[in-house]
Amino acid sequence: MPSSFIVKSDSFQYDLSMYKHLYSRFLEAHPQELHFACHSHHYWPDVTRDAHLEYWDDACKYVDNKWNYIFSKKIPQAQKLIAEILQLSKPEQLVFAPNTHEFVFRLLSSLDWTQKVRILTTDSEFYSFDRQINRLSEFKNFEVVKVPTLPISTFHERFEKEMSSNSWNLIFISHVFFNSGLTCDVERLALKAPTEALFVIDGYHAFMAVPTNLSPLEDRVFYLAGSYKYAQGGEGGCFLYVPPKTRHRPFHTGWFAELSHLSAVGTEVGYPIDALQYAGSTMDFSAIYRLIATLEKFKAEKLDIIQIHNFVKKNQELFIKELEKINHPLLNQQTLMRGNSARHGHFLTFALPSGESTQKMVAALAQNHVHTDSRGNRLRFGFGLYHNDEDIRRVVSIISKVSI
């Protein structure tokens, strides 16, 4: 890192603008905007534009050989980069799809629906999963238990109690909860989970945000995430890690599952024994190009996940410190949702009195060019590499003037 980029002053000593150059296109397109919704729609680094064009060029260059090229070169490259970040020893156990819902449904479809299906989860799972299991629980044989994530201080004990109190076919849990930014200790829970249950981690709000080491869990857990948020490759690039010994026959299956060597496990439809047993079918791989470009760029900049996380944490601390000074009636220490601050997700959430006041607050901030978002009565501020401390002070100054 060039030393001229580092400004040493107080505890918030980073010259955060050192990373802004990575996002010059998006930043230049919105010069007035203070974008604090990067937990929802992250700005794309400039390198993703070239990657997108590279996809076009490869389609033109390889035409009928395109899939061959993508599966032999680009997919292994993406697998390797993701495996490095998650500390997984078998990159080939990663499979791709355009969204996580596809994986969620494929995982559900590997359970035996002719029997009772028992699912343990939380009340804070993203809609891709939550809506799907709400619909499925209309069937008599589906039984779903959702453990409330709040209060977070007792969450792990309560979840463990449920895990051991019954038998489960599927345990599904987010690493970082989308409606609070609070984090759970997935390693602790996965290691205590009954071995007969599939254990699935939704890592969407953790991947490329919260440092994650899956190596102790790599024989045990399924992990899904995507590139739309902190991995910054845009929509369309989701992945699932499949533990190596998995031999499933999801009934929601696509012909890409036949791309690798088939070993006929059951009767009529054969499944591969590698991660492709969870494959779907034709997709637009430009997202994978963009994901690779971003991850390679971070590597070239020597910007690893710990640095990114520490950088965001400093921004969040500065935001909280500045906020304390203004005594805002809605955004303050009492409404801020906090748990393990060292591992908090990359957005801060405030629980407001009602959904209506939250909507009004989001709109009032947007009128002042501050972009945030909300879920119910929870207002979320996302932090990323394209903020510097001046941005943080500006946003708090705007908050101090906003009344609803």
Ligand X SMILES: Cc1ncc(COP(=O)(O)O)c(C=O)c1O
Q: Which is nearer to ligand X, 74 or 229 (CB)?
A: 229
Integer Cα distance of 145 and 265 in angstroms:
32
318 with 389: CB under 8 angstroms? yes
349 with 379: CB under 8 angstroms? yes
CB of 179: closest distance to ligand X in angstroms? 9
Integer Cα distance of 121 and 351 in angstroms:
22
* Number of separate helices (H) and strands (E) present in the chain: 12, 12
Q: Are strands 198-202 and 34-35 parallel, antiparallel or unpaired?
A: unpaired
Q: Which is nearer to ligand X, 211 or 272 (CB)?
A: 211
| Amino acid (one-letter) located at 232 | Q
Q: Which is nearer to ligand X, 99 or 332 (CB)?
A: 99
CB of 124: closest distance to ligand X in angstroms? 9
110 with 242: CB under 8 angstroms? no
CB of 242: closest distance to ligand X in angstroms? 17
CB of 247: closest distance to ligand X in angstroms? 25
How many other CB atoms are found less than 10 A from the CB of residue 324? 12
Q: Which is nearer to ligand X, 41 or 66 (CB)?
A: 41
Q: Which is nearer to ligand X, 174 or 180 (CB)?
A: 174
CB of 228: closest distance to ligand X in angstroms? 7
- 301-309 contact pairs (CB < 8 A, 24+): 301/1, 301/22, 302/1, 303/19, 303/385, 305/85, 305/208, 305/209, 305/211, 305/212, 306/211, 308/208, 308/209, 308/230, 308/385, 309/209, 309/210, 309/211, 309/346
Q: Rounded to an integer, what is the distance from CA 364 to the centroid of its chain?
A: 28
CB of 152: closest distance to ligand X in angstroms? 16
Q: What's the distance, Cα to Cα, between the start and end of the chain in Å? A: 44
Q: Which residues contact 227 (CB under 8 A, 6 or more apart)?
A: 233, 234, 235, 236, 237, 238, 287, 290, 291, 294
CB of 178: closest distance to ligand X in angstroms? 4
Q: Which is nearer to ligand X, 204 or 381 (CB)?
A: 204
CB of 100: closest distance to ligand X in angstroms? 4
Q: Which is nearer to ligand X, 204 or 256 (CB)?
A: 204
Integer Cα distance of 259 and 283 in angstroms:
14
Q: What is the DSSP letter of 329?
A: S
Q: Which is nearer to ligand X, 238 or 362 (CB)?
A: 238
Q: Which is nearer to ligand X, 16 or 86 (CB)?
A: 86
Question: Which residues of the chain form contacts with ligand X (CB under 6 A)?
Answer: 99-101, 126, 128, 174, 178, 202, 204-205, 226, 238
Q: Quick one: which of 386, 378, 373, 369 has its CA closest to 39?
A: 373
CB of 193: closest distance to ligand X in angstroms? 19
Integer Cα distance of 99 and 224 in angstroms:
10
